[in-house]
């Protein structure tokens, strides 16, 4: 019985020793191992063996990126307005040993530096600037925190201001101002829209007037051109008709002249035909008759012939 109890005690002792010697570290974590109260080594992710009852785990440090909400702080701006700022810090431990041994509490250190830095930065700004300069405030906070926490083995990746709360009376005044600005912009936009509509309408009327005037002008030009072309065509037709008549008359005269010439007329026949033509002319409606010079010669010859005939008649009596 005593032998069995001894074996059980020995097995229990080995189990306890094995449990104290074998340490399993999770991914993205490390364990700081101390030996007799002094830093010994850093156990990485996986299975690690330590000396039981000699080595102990000082701290378990996460290597993931971590977030920390900074307690909302009341800050006085440059124009003496008290506002409340809520901030969140994104950081990652790069050196676990420094994060454990260089500062008592890393998160408290980050929070204190963040609070003092926010008060320093915002205290130099007006209230309106704090609302419009969030990116600038975030950048300054990140740079200062990253530099300050470097000796603690920590890297600050980002700092974001979640909310800025002014006092109730200031918030009411700002809401009234924003409403007034919105109403003002609405009135301006409405007036601008009406002005643009009037301009567009006036431009449309102007273009319509111009187009109507151009259409009337084009119509007048085309009408005048049509009348001109009609008159030209009419004149050309009349000229062509006169030309045809003249050509016919000329052809008629040519044929008559040819017939006369073929009959070989003497001077007396020519004179008689001239008188016949003169008689036809004198029967016209004109008040005046122009007698060709050759016709007067013929008439003179006829007169002389009549006188000779008369003399012959007298002598016979």
Q: What is the mean pLDDT of residues 234-245?
A: 83
Does the pLDDT at position 192 exceed 80?
A: yes
**How large a percentage of the chain has pLDDT more than 70?**
79
Does the pLDDT at position 96 exceed 90?
A: yes
Contact present, 126 and 184 (Cβ < 8 Å): no
Question: Which tokens belong to 315?
Answer: 């002598």
Q: pTM for the full model?
A: 0.52
Does the pLDDT at position 143 exceed 70?
A: yes
Q: What is the mean pLDDT of residues 107-131?
A: 89
Report residue 238's pLDDT band, with 50, 70 and 90 as the boundaries.
confident
Mean pLDDT of the chain: 80
Q: What is the mean pLDDT of residues 38-63?
A: 88
- In Å, what is the CA distance from 17 to each residue of 14, 21, 48, 74, 240? 5, 6, 14, 54, 140
Does the pLDDT at position 22 exceed 90?
A: no
- The 10s digit of each residue's pLDDT in 261-297 is 676 656 666 566 666 655 655 555 544 544 454 545 5
Which pLDDT belongs to residue 308? 44
Closest of 142, 138, 162 to residue 150, by C-alpha: 142
């Amino acid at each position: 019985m005593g032998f069995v109890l001894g074996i059980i005690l020995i097995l229990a002792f080995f189990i306890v020793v094995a449990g104290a010697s074998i340490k399993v570290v999770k991914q993205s974590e490390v364990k700081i191992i101390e030996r007799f109260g002094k830093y010994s080594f850093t156990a990485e992710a996986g299975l690690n063996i330590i000396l039981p009852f000699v080595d102990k785990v000082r701290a378990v440090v996460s290597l993931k990126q971590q977030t920390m909400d900074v307690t909302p702080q009341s800050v006085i701006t440059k124009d003496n307005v008290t506002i409340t700022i809520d901030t969140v810090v994104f950081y990652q431990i790069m050196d676990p040993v420094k994060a454990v041994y260089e500062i008592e509490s890393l998160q408290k250190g980050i929070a204190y530096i963040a609070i003092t830095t926010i008060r320093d930065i915002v205290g130099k700004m007006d209230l309106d600037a704090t609302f419009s300069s969030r990116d600038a405030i975030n950048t300054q906070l990140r740079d200062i925190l990253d530099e300050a926490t470097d000796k603690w083995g920590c890297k600050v990746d980002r700092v974001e201001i979640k909310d800025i709360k002014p006092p109730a009376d200031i918030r009411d005044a700002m809401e009234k101002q924003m409403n007034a600005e919105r109403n003002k912009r609405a009135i301006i936009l409405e007036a601008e829209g009406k002005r643009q509509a009037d301009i567009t309408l006036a431009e449309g009327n102007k273009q319509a007037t111009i187009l109507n005037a151009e259409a009337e002008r084009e119509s007048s030009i085309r009408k005048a051109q049509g009348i001109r072309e009609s008159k030209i065509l009419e004149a050309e037709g009349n000229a062509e008709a006169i030309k045809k008549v003249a050509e016919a008359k000329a052809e008629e005269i040519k044929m008559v002249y040819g017939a006369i010439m073929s009959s070989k007329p003497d001077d007396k026949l020519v004179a008689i035909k001239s008188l016949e033509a003169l008689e036809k002319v004198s029967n016209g409606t004109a008040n005046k008759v122009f007698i060709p010079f050759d016709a007067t010669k013929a008439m003179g010859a006829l007169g002389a012939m009549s006188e000779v005939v008369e003399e012959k008649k007298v002598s016979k009596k």
